[in-house]
Structure 1
Amino acid sequence: MNTKSASSVKVIVASVVIIAAVLYLAISGARDSKATSYYCTIGELQGMGKKAYSRNLRVAGNVKPGSIHRMGTHASFVLLELGKELPVNYDGAEPPPDTFKDDAQALAMGHLGRDGTFQANQLQAKCASKYAPAKPGDKPAGSPVTGTTATLVVPAK
């Protein structure tokens, strides 16, 4: 084998390895994209048409007061956002979080059912009042364990 044909073989082998790696990445990326979820508002979801039925989605809003119905790890409720409502059925492996209450901000992950109800398999929530900034003149909240407050002292320079 001469040096010209040996270097040609090396170039061909390297090209095949690069092409195989690119194909592998493209195929695995396409497969993983099916598992990713698209964030949208309730208004955007309602305007998506038939595309909404085939996508994994994340939708956020505030929990409508009085709409929560719990049963074990299942919960049904209504999300509100800018005057629009979205009924949600949550059926996850774990019960809804403790912060999942009326007026809480919630993020539901799942897909839209043909009946217009969002079918969630994951749910995150935070209580809006718990994280609201303190009003001017309010006393600082005490420690939940001791009932005391802490003061930060910064030495003068």
Structure 2
Amino acid sequence: MASNQRKPIGIIVASVIILATVAYLAVTSIGSTKQYYVTIAELQGLGDKAYTRHLRVAGNVAPGSIKRQGMMVNFALMEQGKTLQVAYQGSEPPPDTFKDDSQALAVGTYGHDGVFHATELQAKCASKYAPVDNKKAATPAAAAAILPSTK
């Protein structure tokens, strides 16, 4: 009978050890992969916390700020009157839509040098999402160009 009682206790102890290990791995891995989205103003106000976190920062690419050197690109992001210098060095070249005045999202870390060091870069063309000029669309020729033909 004593051997029968040991089996359930052994299974319970093994189960507790496995669950504790899985919980520990889940908690520690979440902390290392977590990315915080911050505005440029928030980033500049984070203090020492800015240097230890993996961050996502968005803004508009400052006109004339893009400097390319092979796979590395230096540029400035602007948002609500604040500017952030960004150095991108990733495994892929910047997207085709990465141009002056485009909206960009940089993922990386903030350095003690005041530069955001990005390892990922996403961009979308601002003009592609601009609203239609109603004055142009009001002319018959413009309306015919926009609307499909019913012939």
TM-score by length of 1: 0.79
Out of 101, 108, 111, the residue aligned to residue 109 of structure 2 is 111
After superposition, what is the alpha-carbon deviation per residue over 1:54-80, rounded to whole angstroms, capped at 9, x for unaligned? Answer: 111110000011111112211100000
In structure 2, C-alpha distance between the alignment counterparts of 1:88 and 1:13, rounded to whole Å: 54
Alignment match, 1:135: 133
More helix by share: 2
Q: 1:149: Cα distance to partner?
A: 6.5
| Structure 2 partner of 1:95 | 93
Q: 1:28–1:152: structure 2 CA closer, same or farther, 3 Å change rule?
A: farther
- How many residues of Structure 1 are paired with residues of Structure 2 in the alignment? 143
Instruction: Please give the alpha-carbon distance, in whole angstroms, between the structure 1 residues aligned to 2:31 and 2:48.
Output: 19
Give deviations 1:13-64, integer Å, cap 9, x for gaps: 1353144223223224312431231111111111110111111111000001
Equivalence for 1:151? 148
For 1:66, the equivalent position in structure 2 comes to: 64
State the SS of the aligned residue for 1:22. Answer: helix
2:54 maps to 1:56: yes
Structure 1: gaps spanning 5 or more residues: 140-147
Q: Supply the distance in 1 between the matched residues of 2:89 and 2:136 (Cα, whole angstroms).
A: 40
Alignment-derived partner of residue 145 in structure 1: none
Distance 2:56 2:136 in 1: 36
Query: Aligned partner of 2:74: which letter?
Result: S
- 1:14 matched to 2:12? The reply is yes
Q: TM-score, normalised by structure 2?
A: 0.82
Structure 2 Cα separation of the partners of residues 58 and 152 of structure 1: 45
2:140 alignment partner in structure 1: none
Q: Which runs of 5+ in 2 are unaligned?
A: 138-144
**In 2: Cα distance, 1:20 partner to 1:95 partner:** 43
State the identity as a percent.
48
Give, in whole Å, the separation in 2 of the partners of 1:91 and 1:103: 20
Give the letter for the 2:71 counterpart. T
Q: Which residue of 2 aligns with 1:85?
A: 83
Change (3 A) 1:103 1:25: same
